[in-house]
Chain A
Amino acid sequence: MVVIAVTGKGGTGKTVVSALLINFLSRNHSLLAVDADPDSNLPDALGVQPRKTLGEIREVFQVSRDDMGTMNKEQWLEGKIYGEAITETDAYDLLVMGRPEGEGCYCFANSLLRGVLRRLMRHYDVVVIDTEAGLEHFSRRTISSADYIVVVTDMSKKGLATAKRIKELSKELKLNFKKIFLLGNRIVNNFGEEEIKRFADEEGIELLDLLPYSEEVVNLDLRGEPITKLDESSEYARKVLKIANKLVG
């Protein structure tokens, strides 16, 4: 199992990158796509109609647990996740984490979820997680680890500052990742290229690649069409395919 977490400041294009990676990697591998960013729209980018979110299942659990009698709650949650939360497409499975928990105590629910997700994930060849910069699901250990962290940044100071924070955070969280990568996105000039390269050197983060600005990507996004429609012979798509092959040999 290879777990790839794609993260970065909001708006840098991490969901586009995640969707393309999922699209490419699911052709040769059994794959679980996880949308762990409540603000993102990975299902839209993939062109998939999602089912219930994990958060919704957890809320149902919180209100119905008193009436479960001797029923096993972990089995109950597992059944709901497998049966109602995972969206099966022809090529891969999709799990949307959904909104964070509400008021009250979620210690037990989360402890059960951790067990279910751990057992679920290990049966896929590849897990791609689109996650926000705060890495919330990692800090709560609902997702226990990642092999590769890909931090997407655009040509902005904030994007790079977030990348730095993510690097520190992922060390603090002891994620035991094998490697953290930087991926430049929407690079339009040499200045941007140089700045990002310099940053990668200074921070000791391997620069995966620099993706160009792509009008086609922008237009698909604007029209609300799935990013997976992107022409595969385009420079953008070819570069992401190369990344996919590098991460999962």
Chain B
Amino acid sequence: MVDRKKIEFPEDVKKVESVGEEAEFPFDISPMYEGERIRKGEMYVELGGTEQPGFELVMALSPDEVEDMKVTVVGPDLEEMEEGKAYPYGMIYYVAGSQVETDLEPVIERRNHDFQNYLEGYMHLNQRYDIWIRIGKSSVKKGLKSLVQIAKATMMLFKNELPFIEKIEAVYITDADLVTKVLNEVAMRIYEERDARVEALHDEDVDEFYSCTLCQSFAPTNVCVVSPDRPSLCGAISWFDGRAAAKVDPEGPNRAIPKGELIDPIGGEYSGVNEFAKEESGGEYERVKLHSFFEYPHTSCGCFEVIGFYMPEVDGIGWVHRGYPEPAPNGLPFSTMAGQTGGGKQIAGFLGVGISYFRSKKFIQADGGWYRVVWMPKELKDRISKYIPDDVRDKIATEEDARTIDELKEFLKKVDHPVVKGVVRPVDGKKVTDGWVEEEEEEEVVEEEKPAEAVQPTPQPQMAQAVQYPPTQLPVQLPQLPQLQLPAQSAGGVKLVIKDAKIYIDKIVIKKPEEKKGGK
């Protein structure tokens, strides 16, 4: 971790220091000024932006290191700047408080944007190393003389709005060499460290997930649950976005979901998520597992970037993205599968996801993760290639290897894909599939003495039969199959023997035998 300590500046650089609260400001402070755009003609100076380096950084320090309400301006101050010019700008805040931790730094830093935009005649845009500030001429006319005034107003807002900040100190740098030096040597390293932490943040590290119901106008029962390991299906919303939106508007489309009890650590089932799903889907769904393909999968809205589809013939999962126009090896193009799955339904055997879910360490981990994946279009595979484990990357076919189930079978056999001999899921070492049954062997599926029951796949934890159903407690939802009722006279029971069967049903039409009229 980058050491958090105050930045030291050379003695010979011009500095202005000021401690204590300012009694009055020559500018208004109000959320009303958010979005205010200072046009080029009205601008006194520009800080950062496209022409000059700039950055903003919050560092959490221990209370004895922070001198409360102190400002140091390093380099030329506003009065020494030439009107209409752009200058380098670094804003550093040291914060302390019993609850202030390194993890909170980015959360606090983000608010600099909000608070500085409350200042009349001060436009703040962007974040991190991209910041771009314009100060209006009118504010300077009204008496704005020094960045000390800006810093004091901003710190006052920080303390008022975020009371857990007990002490705050600001250092604003306008000296070109020092802005670049601190940006490269300290700030960039801290930003990189934060990004690395994001990659390492998992569902178990947080207390809340976030919902997204932006799409409910299209898919009324859809409930997107956004967790650190599972971004939204549209790919747009990460856990961080959900958190940011929920803070701004707690009753809006992104709300906090307390996780509750962990029910299934591998499938990713939480009591809080289940309750939320039940409520938001209008009772339609009672359980949702975040990292499961077959068992209580996440609902699919219609916005998803990629759809996953189970292919029983190879006992593997294929993925196809919106931009791939050809049919997948199962014979269906994206649009057809999306049409069947979309609309907020929970359908075992199909799953809509966002492209960034492929980055997740928990990517369908209940079903074997990447080791269960057998096919994806080349374009998609190339895009996410670095997230595929080395030992299976070349074993996943693309359209260049296989376009039909038969070609796919051959390919998987040739490369010895895990599905051929059985998939061991890495998360707990459990074998989740038995692999393909040798074709010579005659496999019998015998359903004995099942009188007049609806034909339902029995829940099977593993796949042993030639007719392979996904291991699920949900009935496999082929598009709304009516339950097959066998004729009543078979009450004595029937014996069904299915040998080496491959069943593909395009359509079943069941009709009552029509009574012939006038035929007697």
Contact A107:B303 (CB < 8 A) given known A83-B50, A90-B41: yes
Contact A70–B195 (Cβ < 8 Å): yes
Contact residues in A for B233 (Cβ distance below 8 Å): 105
Contact A88:B235 (CB < 8 A) given known A69-B198, A79-B125, A105-B215: no
* Residue ID in chain B nearest A66 by CB atoms: B356
Interfacial residues, chain B to chain A (CB-CB below 8 A): 34-37, 39-41, 49-50, 106, 110, 113, 123, 125-128, 130, 132, 194-195, 198, 212, 214-215, 232-238, 240-241, 244, 253, 301-305, 322-323, 355-356, 359
Binds B, one of A35-43, A115-123, A126-134, A162-170: A115-123
Q: Which of B37, B41, B215 contacts A82 (CB 8 A)?
A: B37
Chain A nearest CB, measured from B356 CB (Å): 5
Contact B37–A76 (Cβ < 8 Å): no
Chain A nearest CB, measured from B232 CB (Å): 7
Residue A78 CB within 8 A of the other chain: yes
Give bound CA distance, A30 to B41, whole Å: 12
Contact residues in A for B35 (Cβ distance below 8 Å): 116, 118-120, 122-123
Contact A109–B236 (Cβ < 8 Å): yes
Give bound CA distance, A82 to B49, whole Å: 11
Within 8 A of B (CB), among A49-93: 62, 65-66, 68-76, 78-79, 82-83, 86, 88, 90, 93
Contact residues in B for A62 (Cβ distance below 8 Å): 236
Contact residues in B for A72 (Cβ distance below 8 Å): 110, 113, 127, 241, 244
Residue A103 CB within 8 A of the other chain: yes
Q: Which of A75, A93, A107 contacts B214 (CB 8 A)?
A: A107
Contact A103–B323 (Cβ < 8 Å): yes
Number of A-B residue pairs with CB-CB distance less than 8 Å in the complex they form: 99
Interfacial residues, chain A to chain B (CB-CB below 8 A): 30, 62, 65-66, 68-76, 78-79, 82-83, 86, 88, 90, 93, 103-105, 107-109, 111, 116, 118-120, 122-123
Q: Which of A71, A74, A107, A119 has the most CB of B within 10 A?
A: A107
Q: Which of A65, A70, A104, A111 contacts B253 (CB 8 A)?
A: A111
Chain B nearest CB, measured from A249 CB (Å): 23
Query: Can you list 12 A-B contacts with CB-CB less than 8 angstroms, sorted by A residue number?
Result: A69-B240, A70-B240, A71-B128, A72-B113, A75-B127, A79-B130, A82-B132, A83-B132, A93-B37, A104-B305, A105-B215, A108-B214
Q: Which of A69, A104, A123 contacts B36 (CB 8 A)?
A: A123
Contact residues in B for A105 (Cβ distance below 8 Å): 215, 233-236, 301-305
Q: Which of A69, A73, A108, A119 contacts B234 (CB 8 A)?
A: A108
Contact residues in A for B238 (Cβ distance below 8 Å): 68
Contact residues in B for A116 (Cβ distance below 8 Å): 35
Top 8 A-B pairs ranked by shortest CB distance? A119-B35, A105-B303, A105-B234, A108-B236, A79-B126, A107-B214, A69-B195, A79-B125
Contact B125–A107 (Cβ < 8 Å): no
* Residue ID in chain A nearest B130 by CB atoms: A79
* Residue ID in chain A nearest B199 by CB atoms: A69
Q: Which of B36, B128, B214, B301 contacts A111 (CB 8 A)?
A: B214
Chain B nearest CB, measured from A120 CB (Å): 5
* Residue ID in chain A nearest B234 by CB atoms: A105
Chain A nearest CB, measured from B122 CB (Å): 13
Chain B nearest CB, measured from A143 CB (Å): 14
Contact A123–B37 (Cβ < 8 Å): yes
Contact A76–B322 (Cβ < 8 Å): no
Give bound CA distance, A71 to B110, whole Å: 9
Contact B241–A73 (Cβ < 8 Å): yes
Give bound CA distance, A108 to B210, whole Å: 14
- Other than the known A75-B127, A76-B126, what 13 A-B pairs have Cβ atoms closer than 8 Å? A69-B195, A69-B240, A70-B194, A75-B110, A75-B126, A79-B125, A82-B37, A105-B301, A105-B305, A108-B232, A111-B253, A119-B35, A120-B35
Contact residues in B for A93 (Cβ distance below 8 Å): 37, 39
Give bound CA distance, A47 to B123, whole Å: 28
Contact A88–B234 (Cβ < 8 Å): no
* Residue ID in chain A nearest B114 by CB atoms: A75
Chain A nearest CB, measured from B414 CB (Å): 33
Q: Which of B39, B237, B253 has the most CB of A within 10 A?
A: B39
* Residue ID in chain A nearest B194 by CB atoms: A70
Contact residues in B for A74 (Cβ distance below 8 Å): 244
Contact residues in A for B40 (Cβ distance below 8 Å): 88
Chain A nearest CB, measured from B471 CB (Å): 30
